[in-house]
């Protein structure tokens, strides 16, 4: 993926418009998500509908020469045939989406007890955050509604499962709270996290399950302990509302995106600001009419942890290499709202205000042995533990992402 080469549009999915709806109202794709094993894609396509699509996409969507790696046979349930596309009617505008890690063995007990008709298998589940504050939990394989979680008083904007498979779900809402739910205990609400003064836009759990980051319409970002559910620190540095956040795959870095047109890369353990990625317009307007034209909407890490993707209001998808201060690639996209990488790399999915989803080529990279070692070590060592190691300073700087 040479520098400057644009991501190619692989496919675009558009919702079939139901006639009875007003043409523009509530048609936005606020969320897109891949299941962690890469076998399903979900998208909130507006009008209260979530589409669940088996991945890879069927051939008719993808141009020749871009066939995705076929789904591994172990994910196919024997005798059931291949998975079918599903439409989930949530009854309310859908804002947030999250897949559970796959598989989740503890879920056997829960679903079998409540839903005798559901086969006794560990199942992949999808959580949907709705306009009225409810969260609906669906079984992906069957499209069955399993649970309704009530507690939030306003829009559930974002959702995140603990990557460990423990079926702990975190929700972020316009009611200015985050809530923690345990789906192994009938979806019991186990904690309410208060402290934000504005709508909470985004929540992200670190891959090592130790930290939770939340971004509200405020300049500071909150970092919480996932062990004690208490506030660890506030990260101060943005000049305007922070709207999106994501941890690196080894939990050693945190990125936050703001309406101030910057992405800041932080060390979540020390609270240090490591670098800022400024979004400058390619073609600045002649007047000052649009101050927030480069306002950011979404940021996400690539699965190997070497790249970031950002979506901004200046109609561009940008791809950044961590060690560089300027993007390595751009793609034109109008009305972008969200982005996410395919878990095995090579593809970025983006959602738009028109209810569309686009799939783009992303850098396919072979990580250096140095980076693989850093990633392996950082997945269980905090910054302070690295700094305490009896190793040369240059190695410490590399392992803490002070250098690349």
Note the pLDDT tens digit of each residue in 233-277. 999 999 999 999 999 999 999 999 999 999 999 999 999 999 999
Q: Find, among 66, 31, 24, 76, the residue nearest to 50 by Cα.
A: 31
- pTM recorded for the entire structure: 0.88
Predicted pLDDT of residue 15: 80
| CB count in 10 Å sphere of residue 49 | 20
Give the contacts of 333 (CB within 8 A, at least 6 positions apart). Answer: 311, 315, 316, 317, 350, 352, 358
Q: What's the whole-number mean pLDDT along residues 362-390?
A: 95
Instruction: Tell me the sheet residues that pair with 50.
Output: 44, 88
Predicted pLDDT of residue 325: 87
- Give 94-107 pLDDT, tens digit per residue: 999 999 996 645 44
DSSP per-residue string spanning 233-273: EEE---SS-EEEEEE-TTSS-EEEEETTSEEEEE-TTT--E
Q: What's the whole-number mean pLDDT along residues 114-128?
A: 64
CB burial readout 132-160, b (16+ within 10 A) else e: ebbbbbbbbbebbebbebebbeebbbbbb
Predicted pLDDT of residue 306: 94
Give CA–CA dist 233/15, Å, rounded: 41
Predicted pLDDT of residue 77: 41
Predicted pLDDT of residue 46: 79
- Is the pLDDT at 308 greater than 50? The verdict is yes
Which residue has 């024997």 as its token pair?
A: 78
Confidence of residue 117 (pLDDT cuts 50, 70, 90): very low
DSSP per-residue string spanning 86-101: EEEE-SS-EEEEEEPP
Give CA–CA dist 352/357, Å, rounded: 7
Which residue has 């996209």 as its token pair?
A: 333
The mean-pLDDT minimum among 77-86, 204-213, 309-318 falls in 77-86
Is-contact 302 341, C-beta < 8 A? yes
Confidence of residue 279 (pLDDT cuts 50, 70, 90): confident
Average model confidence (pLDDT) for the chain? 86
- Is the pLDDT at 334 greater than 50? The verdict is yes
Is-contact 333 311, C-beta < 8 A? yes
The mean-pLDDT minimum among 14-18, 71-75, 112-116 falls in 71-75
Q: How far is CA 278 from CA 300, 316, 329, in A?
A: 15, 13, 14
- More confidently predicted of 279 and 22: 279
Q: What's the whole-number mean pLDDT along residues 176-196?
A: 95
> For residue 395, what are its two tokens?
């190695």
Give CA–CA dist 264/243, Å, rounded: 12
Q: What's the whole-number mean pLDDT along residues 124-151?
A: 95
- Is the pLDDT at 402 greater than 60? The verdict is yes
Predicted pLDDT of residue 207: 96
Predicted pLDDT of residue 267: 98
Give CA–CA dist 128/157, Å, rounded: 10
Confidence of residue 68 (pLDDT cuts 50, 70, 90): very low
Predicted pLDDT of residue 61: 61
């Amino acid at each position: 993926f040479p520098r400057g080469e644009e991501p190619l549009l692989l496919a675009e999915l558009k919702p079939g418009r139901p006639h009875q709806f007003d043409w523009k109202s509530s048609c936005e794709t606020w969320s897109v998500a891949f299941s962690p094993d890469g076998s399903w894609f979900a998208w909130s396509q507006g009008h209260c509908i979530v589409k669940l699509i088996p991945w890879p996409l069927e051939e008719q969507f993808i141009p020749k020469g871009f066939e995705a790696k076929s789904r591994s046979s172990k994910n196919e349930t024997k005798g059931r045939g291949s998975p079918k596309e599903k439409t989930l009617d949530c009854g309310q505008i859908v804002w947030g989406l999250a897949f559970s890690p796959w598989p989740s063995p503890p879920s056997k007990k829960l679903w079998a007890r409540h839903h005798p008709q559901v086969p006794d298998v560990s199942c992949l589940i999808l959580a949907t955050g709705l306009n009225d504050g409810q969260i609906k939990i669906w079984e992906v394989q069957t499209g069955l509604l399993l649970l309704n979680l009530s507690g939030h008083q306003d829009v559930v904007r974002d959702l995140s499962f603990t990557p460990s498979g423990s079926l702990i779900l975190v929700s972020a809402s316009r009611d200015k709270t985050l809530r923690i739910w345990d789906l192994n205990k009938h979806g019991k609400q186990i904690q309410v996290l208060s402290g934000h003064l504005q709508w909470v836009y985004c929540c992200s759990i670190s891959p090592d399950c130790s930290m939770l980051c939340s971004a509200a319409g405020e300049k500071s970002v909150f970092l919480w302990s996932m062990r004690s559910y208490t506030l660890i620190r506030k990260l101060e540095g943005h000049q305007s509302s922070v709207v999106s956040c994501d941890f690196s795959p080894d939990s050693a870095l945190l990125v936050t995106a703001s309406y101030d047109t910057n992405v800041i890369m932080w060390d979540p353990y020390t609270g240090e600001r490591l670098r800022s990625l400024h979004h400058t317009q390619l073609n600045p307007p002649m007047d000052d009419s649009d101050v927030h034209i480069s306002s950011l909407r979404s940021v996400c890490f690539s699965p190997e942890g070497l790249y970031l993707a950002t979506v901004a209001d200046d109609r561009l998808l940008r791809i950044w290499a961590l060690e560089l201060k300027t993007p390595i690639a751009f793609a034109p996209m109008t009305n972008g709202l969200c982005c996410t990488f395919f878990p095995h790399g090579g593809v970025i999915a983006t959602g738009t205000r028109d209810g569309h989803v686009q799939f783009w080529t992303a850098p396919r990279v072979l990580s250096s042995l140095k980076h693989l070692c850093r990633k392996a070590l950082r997945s269980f060592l905090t910054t302070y533990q690295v700094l305490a190691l009896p190793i040369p300073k240059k190695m410490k700087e590399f392992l803490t992402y002070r250098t690349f």
